[in-house]
């Protein structure tokens, strides 16, 4: 009997979501035959991924053996690097984060130096958690797209000078000795939010991830949207102003060029004559500085228009904001997006659409990458 990887993943996910559960219930939940369930559960027990935890109450017949995830059997590591830091997260089989850390690092640093810092931080975090290194079976590293998933490299790296073509996946695997996968940061963040966050019940999730650039992670009916080359979600290059500034991608009026952090900094300088960082502008906006508030609000309004288009095309039911780029002003973006959707979302009479902030705002991509890497290893 063939143990198809997708069926094994389906059963493991069903145990995770419905534990404690029995083999009979798993057959009902998954639609697989009792014989297939028996075989797959046997392999999961043999691998130590699930465990038997007693029996159900008798209903007149033989009591059913109950199963649940052995959450300490395997761990996954996720790594995200942003313009100012490296964030790491370790997740267990439940999808729960058991440890996280952050260390400062510059995006302009030499790629080899940055990978060495990633590896050092990873070893430090795992050691501090007391995890058996053998149980840490997979790592996921995130980067802004577009990516070359076959080669494990950054394909364009428009916001990362010196990184284009760098074999990030293989370099990190060599530095740590951990099998490593490479993920688009927005897609990873969406996966983490769906499988271990507040959007678990979403049928159509759009996660907007902002750091230096802007991406969108999309999950429809429980499945990530990858696209032909695995680079779906380049939301920052949606054209929102045909007369707008040139973008690094070569287009004009892209969302990133009009409303991203660098655009906010430039708008503030044009308005005041003073150059300030995006986060300082955000802090000033929250303190009711009108100049700062006006440029943040303009960014948020443009973001709202772009999200409205995405929501209408994909009939989203959840929009989640994540990433260090939103920072402390995420609530202003939520308000602007909610206002646009409330007035013009095409399906608003058919269903509601929830807009919120990620449970893992600053390290959402690291959390998602740890889950994605672990899931891929297990199937």
Render 19-53 in DSSP notation, one character per residue.
-SEEHHHHHHHH---HHHHHHHHHHHHHTTSEEEE
- How far lies 366's CA from each of 14, 33, 214, 322, 348, in Å? 24, 36, 16, 11, 33
Residue 154 CA: distances (Å) to CA of 73, 78, 179, 372: 32, 17, 18, 19
Whole-number pLDDT of residue 107: 59
Q: 239-285 pLDDT, tens per residue?
A: 999 888 999 888 999 999 999 999 999 999 999 999 999 999 999 99
Kindly tell me the burial class for residue 54, based on how many C-beta atoms sit within 10 Å of its own C-beta (0-12, 13-18, 19 or more).
exposed
In the predicted model, is pLDDT for residue 3 greater than 50? Answer: no
Phi then psi for residue 101, to 5 deg, are -155, 165
SS3 187: helix
Are the C-beta atoms of 369 and 183 separated by less than 8 Å?
yes
pLDDT digits (tens, 9 = 90+) for 71-120: 888 999 999 987 778 999 999 988 889 999 998 876 567 889 889 999 99
Residue 377 in contact with residue 47, Cβ under 8 Å? Answer: no
Query: Cα–Cα distance between 371 and 50 in angstroms, integer?
Result: 17
Residue listed under structure tokens 């303190």: 287
Residues making up the chain, counted from first to last: 379
How far is residue 371 from each of residues 58, 95, 125, 221, measured CA to CA in Å? 36, 6, 17, 18
Cα distances from 304 to residues 102, 218, 255, 328, in angstroms, run: 30, 17, 11, 17
Identify the structural domains of the chain with CATH numbers, from first to last: 7-69 (1.10.10.10), 75-189+365-376 (3.30.420.40), 202-358 (3.30.420.40)
pTM: 0.87
What pLDDT is recorded for position 143?
87
Give the residue among 45, 54, 94 at the shortest CA–CA distance from 72.
94
Stretch 44-51: mean pLDDT = 90
């Amino acid at each position: 009997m063939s143990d198809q990887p997708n069926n094994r993943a389906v059963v493991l996910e069903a145990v995770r979501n419905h534990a404690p559960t029995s083999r009979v219930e798993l057959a009902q939940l998954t639609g697989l035959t009792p014989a297939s369930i028996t075989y797959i559960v046997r392999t999961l027990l043999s691998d130590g991924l699930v465990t038997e935890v007693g029996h159900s109450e008798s209903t007149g017949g033989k009591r059913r053996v109950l199963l649940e995830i052995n959450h300490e059997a395997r761990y996954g590591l996720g790594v995200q690097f942003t313009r100012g830091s490296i964030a790491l997260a370790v997740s267990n089989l439940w999808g729960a984060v058991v440890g996280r850390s952050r260390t400062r690092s510059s995006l302009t640093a030499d790629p080899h130096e940055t990978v060495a810092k990633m590896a050092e931080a990873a070893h430090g975090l795992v050691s501090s958690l007391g995890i058996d290194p053998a149980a840490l079976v997979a790592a996921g590293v995130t980067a802004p797209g577009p990516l070359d998933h076959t080669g494990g490299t950054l394909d364009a790296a428009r916001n990362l000078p010196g990184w284009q073509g760098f074999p990030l996946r293989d370099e990190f695997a060599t530095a740590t000795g951990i099998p490593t996968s490479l993920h688009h940061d927005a897609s990873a963040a969406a996966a983490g939010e769906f499988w271990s966050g507040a959007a678990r019940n979403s049928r159509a999730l759009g996660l907007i991830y902002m750091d230096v650039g802007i991406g969108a992670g999309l999950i429809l009916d429980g499945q990530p949207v990858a696209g032909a080359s695995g680079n779906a979600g380049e939301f920052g290059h949606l054209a929102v102003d045909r007369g707008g500034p040139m973008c690094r991608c070569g287009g004009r009026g892209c969302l990133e060029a009009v409303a991203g952090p660098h655009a906010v900094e430039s708008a503030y300088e044009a308005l005041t004559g003073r150059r300030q960082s995006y986060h300082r502008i955000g802090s000033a906006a929250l303190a009711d500085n009108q100049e700062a508030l006006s440029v943040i609000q303009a960014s948020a309004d443009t973001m709202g228009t772009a999200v409205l288009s995405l929501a209408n095309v994909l009939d989203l039911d959840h929009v989640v904001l994540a990433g260090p780029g939103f920072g402390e002003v995420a609530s202003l973006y939520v308000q602007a997006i909610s206002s646009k959707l409330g007035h013009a979302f095409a399906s608003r009479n058919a269903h509601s659409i929830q807009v919120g902030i990620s449970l893992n705002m600053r390290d959402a991509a690291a959390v998602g990458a740890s889950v994605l890497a672990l899931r891929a290893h297990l199937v």
